[in-house]
Every structure is written in structure tokens, then in C-alpha cells.
Amino acid sequence: MYIDERAIGLFYPFEMERYLETLLGERDPLLKEIEEQALQETIPVVTPMVGNFLNLMITMSRARAVLEIGTAIGYSTIWLTRAVEKNGGHVTTIDLNRDRLTRAIQYFERAELREYITTIDGDARKILPQLPSMFDFVFIDAAKGEYLDYLNLIYPLIIPGGVLVVDNVLFRGWVVPDSTFPPKYDRMVGGLRQFLQELCQNPDFTTTVLPFGDGVSVSQKKLV
């Protein structure tokens, strides 16, 4: 989720996030346009730092079959696809919001990436059991209360040695025990704590959690 000090606070100094962004160099006009649209309309997208990280992970792992749960208006999808294109691969992305998905497709066309992306409109929890393909890289950035459901559903879809990346797992730092947060987030925070616990204790994954953006978990499915 793209975070701005005018909206919510990071769990580390906001100035650090801005500084890290400067290290990425100048982003192209299309990415910057999407960032501005997301900020103006409060649409959740990954931070530029997380987008760059996803691109790097795809490049390093040489992933070719990529699954994304949570398209929004396509910001993270473009970061993913620009790396996948070089690998001769393809991205499948799922989102329940048809209007946002339509806007994402327009951005894909402008980025000249449409042929590398399959978009699926619907509830990922219903779609995942029907997918015939296996994936070597999965990225989740969707409804936080559904993360546990996604974990169980995507497990059989990830090849041995495949990578799972999940955004917003520290959710403003509130998943840390004894954190203070508005009561309306109690269920979401509790669900994320349970998700992280199950993911990190899953013997079939090797997992680490990285404290940048809004918290990113990175897991690799074991080969045996």
C-alpha cells in the first residue's frame, strides 16, 4: 500500500521512506502518474520501494509464471511485468473491483505490457481453486482479513522452490504485541498476527519479514 504522511504514519520515520525513494532514481512518468492517482483517490498500491523490490526479486529468481492477488489500478503489476517480460514470462493478476481492474488494463496498454498480463475479475478465494497453472512467484496485496485464506489456497499453486511475497504484513506496526490502535482494526490486526505466525511456522516455507513499506514477508517453498 502506498503510504503518505498526509494519510497514515509509518512505523519508522517518514523521512526515511522518502530518502529511500530518492535512492531509486527518477521513475518514469507513467509510474509517477499512477502514484499520484492512487494518492488522490486513496487507492492502496505498494510503495515505490516495494515495487522496485518486487521487480528485483523477479529478475533475480528468473520467475516466468507470476500470480498477483490484488491488482488495484495496476501499479505493482507493472513493476512485476517489466521484469517478467525480460524473462519471457507472464503475469496473472486477480482483483474483485471491476472498475479498478478496467483502469489497470488501460495502464497496461499504455505501458505496452498488455500481452504479458492476464487479468481475472472476481473473488480470489473462489478463483484460486480453479486455476490450472503452477506459479514460481506469487505476490499478495489484497484484503488483509483474507490473508489466511489465501495462504491455504495458494500453497498447492506454488512450485517447489517458488517464492511468495506478501505486502502490509506489519500494518502500520500494529501487529507488534502491545501496540495501541483504534478498536475498529482489532480483527484485522489479529488476523495479520495469526497469518504471520502460521506462515513463519510453516515447515514447508522458509520465511523472513522485512520492515520497509508497510512490512513485507518473503517466503520460499522448500524443494523437498
Determine the Cα–Cα distance for residues 127 and 79; give it in Å rounded to an integer: 23
pLDDT digits (tens, 9 = 90+) for 50-78: 999 999 999 999 999 999 999 999 999 99
Is residue 42 in some structural domain? yes
Residue 25 backbone phi and psi in degrees, to 5: 85, -175
pLDDT digits (tens, 9 = 90+) for 83-105: 999 999 999 999 999 999 999 99
Is residue 5 in some structural domain? no
Is residue 66 in some structural domain? yes
Is residue 141 in some structural domain? yes
Residue 189 belongs to domain spanning: 14-221
Is residue 9 in some structural domain? no
pLDDT at position 30 is 97
pLDDT digits (tens, 9 = 90+) for 150-203: 999 999 999 999 999 999 999 988 998 888 889 999 999 999 999 999 999 999
Question: Does the model's pTM come out above 0.85?
Answer: yes
**Which domain CATH number covers 113?**
3.40.50.150
Is residue 151 in some structural domain? yes
- Mean pLDDT confidence for 139-160: 95
Q: Return the C-alpha cell found at 100.
A: 479498478
Using the predicted structure, report yes or no on whether residue 21 has a pLDDT greater than 90: no
Q: How many CB atoms lie within 10 A of CB 183?
A: 6
pLDDT at position 102 is 97
Determine the Cα–Cα distance for residues 48 and 27; give it in Å rounded to an integer: 9
Is residue 186 in some structural domain? yes
pLDDT at position 12 is 62
Is residue 107 in some structural domain? yes
pLDDT at position 3 is 39
CB-based contact 137:61 (threshold 8 Å) = yes
Using the predicted structure, report yes or no on whether residue 1 has a pLDDT greater than 60: no
Average pLDDT of the residues of the chain: 91
Q: Among the ranges 4-13, 144-153, 169-178, which has the highest mean pLDDT value?
A: 144-153
Determine the Cα–Cα distance for residues 144 and 151; give it in Å rounded to an integer: 12
Strand 117-121 to strand 135-140: parallel, antiparallel, or no bridges (unpaired)?
Answer: unpaired
Total domains in the chain come to: 1
Strand 216-221 to strand 205-210: parallel, antiparallel, or no bridges (unpaired)?
Answer: antiparallel
pLDDT at position 18 is 80
Can you give the length of the chain in residues?
224
Q: How many CB atoms lie within 10 A of CB 193?
A: 16
